[in-house]
Chains A and B, each alone.
Chain A
């Protein structure tokens, strides 16, 4: 085992890895990005165009951060991990809800400017930043995890798989943004929790040790019935959660089978009494 270091290992004299990489990635090209900016509450906003040096493999978030550092220091944008793991940098890029950090510039026709605007379903705070606090309020209404008392604390991978898919969610709110039930800016959202919270509820309901009942909440307070299965949410999910197929449809089936069906409800009641 080598626990000591020698000077020859360090002072090699050649190019450092930093130099190798920056030389390789530089291009002489520039691209145009058009960023929709605006103050609190502005829906239309204004488009500002910036010229950004192109580096190989760069993502849309790089262009925004470059503009922020060099041309518009007060340009507001949310971001955190820059690794597609935190779901902060959601925006609409050329009209599609996407994570800015996961969208490569080279995937677009670079002869045209790239259009970057905030999520359209939520009110603007400033520039690319929107007020997503409504989502947090909905989240707080969901009945929390409630451990079952009637079984041994033991389960297997196949018991966990379904719930684990739901727990991959990074709360980027792209599904909320694209959902047609929510997609307009009004003072009050309809009584509808949105795909993110059907996913969260399903994650709890599918948990092998959870004992809470959320059907009534799903059917009434969270308006699951308003979803008419257009799959838009599933398409934009950067975590590839099959939102419609694996969360919404199974929950809709449960609501129909177990909550609304009066005959079954009656039978269940009787069975419970036995």
Chain B
């Protein structure tokens, strides 16, 4: 048995869990409000999953197409989300994202330019106009580096390679958080009246994913265990184009920019099969539609040799491809020995993004737990049933900033309460538990869960499989409670995984239960047994609650939309543009 040394208590006004785009944007904003900020970073600073975002930041700046404005962006987002988005978030997001582009430029971001010297924008699926501000196909890196540099310049305190294992509360309100520092295994405690969860998504619950090892749903699980509600958990985006081959790189993202810049999808018969699924928008249909199309082509025997569809950009000039898609060119050369300027890529859907997450107030990002806020992929609402490409980067900027602002305002007026010794001791005991457990290897359990979720709660869902999944998840939860860690507390991956699988198994249940309850097909949620929209289920969202023992999911209706937004949602963009 290994023990950590005495906990140290660090104080902050706002504790931000996560150092990706949303977390860093929140930190910068909270610091600007005068709050003392501490940022928890699960990896090294600047390595967050935001980096893998390639295509661009959706913002109606109208630099390439002056017809664009927030109303069209709002319309596209609601249409893409199949009308179950939190409409207030969709409104704020569309209105405020252009300002965030301006902020990034003031902080040093260097986006690609138009011939007139403005920011370049590209087209993505479901967007009416060329809207995605970008740098080649490495936009996420530019965004992270810009925010990282700004945070460093502002001297914001960052705790790298630190994992939070529990949120601490007093009288129902947040008073801090506890966790451990990976390098030493030392337990660490934070005293803070406001906590922002900006810890990304849950893609690692599935076997084929574009997510890094960090996407283990821990932000969602931390909030859920602390009493926060989760929403829209059934909506998981399977990005249509992940790498298929070689097997070891399966699931790695192939940016939508390939299609945005003119790439074609074909099957083994050479057909541009998107004609059959969305004749009007073809390859630039929304991600849910394209993912289902590729899945279906392969299922029906028209797949490529490794079980995917062909995606080709080779009909465009090689120089153009290398300039617009340099990292795709490099990625396929290095991993698959494929030169995309000459040959097609093979692609297949990959678990990419969780539309669902922590339920928040659209304006303030506050959860139902006083002092707890959430932004970015950890939060739910903006994207509804299906996220449009590019809307995640603008999401984390707009709502990262809002989370920072509202958390700071809350914290500066709140009482700072020191977490009780008992609670700290309990948190430490729970974190240490895997070293005393005698159960199985958590890596094996994790793999089993990933394979099960992929096959039972994947692109297509059906009653029978979902029930089976729920049974298996309960079994996995029991076993996860007893997985064992070996070795010392210092930089120990099996310890980390032992804690991760508990979170993943808990969140997997919210996904399967919500998917089971949503007896319709909408956006990324496709039910074989309920292939159509259900008008009643368009009125709201699945909301998950946890009492520490049981997960319950219930349908909750949204407040009605104001008339103006209602009209914008359902009218054609051309009409919206003129409005």
Contacts and interface: CB of A to CB of B under 8 A. Distances in A.
Interface in B121-163: 135-136, 138, 140-142, 145, 149-150, 152-153, 155, 160
Contacts of A6: 528, 531
Contacts of B292: 2, 5, 9
Interface string A148-172: 0000011111011001100110110
Interface in B244-260: 244-250, 252-253
Nearest to B252: A83
A1 interface: yes
Interface stretch (B231-239, B474-482, B491-499): B491-499
B46 A171 contact: yes
Interface stretch (A52-60, A180-188, A215-223, A254-262): A52-60
B487 A74 contact: yes
Contacts of A57: 245-249, 335-336
B490 A87 contact: no
Contact of B335 (A2, A9, A59, A207): A59
A160 B120 CA distance: 12
Nearest to A61: B248
A155 B46 contact: no
B490 A40 contact: yes
Given A5-B526, A24-B306, A85 B248 contact: no
A21 B347 CA distance: 12
A269 interface: no
Interface stretch (A43-51, A62-70, A224-232, A244-252): A62-70
A129 B306 contact: no
Contact of A18 (B120, B454, B486): B454
B494 to A, nearest CB: 4
B393 to A, nearest CB: 15
Contacts of B149: 144-145
A58 B300 contact: no
B306 A21 contact: yes
Contact of B213 (A21, A39, A79, A144): A79
Given A1-B289, A76-B491, A83 B249 contact: yes
17 contacts: A2-B278, A11-B528, A16-B455, A17-B244, A18-B208, A21-B247, A21-B250, A24-B247, A39-B490, A59-B249, A62-B248, A68-B494, A80-B51, A83-B52, A167-B110, A167-B142, A168-B141
Interface of B: 43-49, 51-52, 105-108, 110, 112-113, 115, 117-118, 120, 135-136, 138, 140-142, 145, 149-150, 152-153, 155, 160, 183, 207-208, 210, 212-214, 244-250, 252-253, 276-281, 285, 289, 292-293, 295-296, 298-301, 303, 305-308, 327, 330-331, 334-336, 348, 441, 443-444, 447, 454-455, 460, 462, 485-488, 490-495, 521, 526-529, 531-533
Interface of A: 1-7, 9-12, 14, 16-18, 20-22, 24-25, 39-40, 55-59, 62, 68-70, 73-88, 102, 104, 125-127, 129, 131-133, 136, 139-140, 144-145, 147, 153-157, 159-160, 163-164, 167-168, 170-171, 204, 207, 209-210, 240
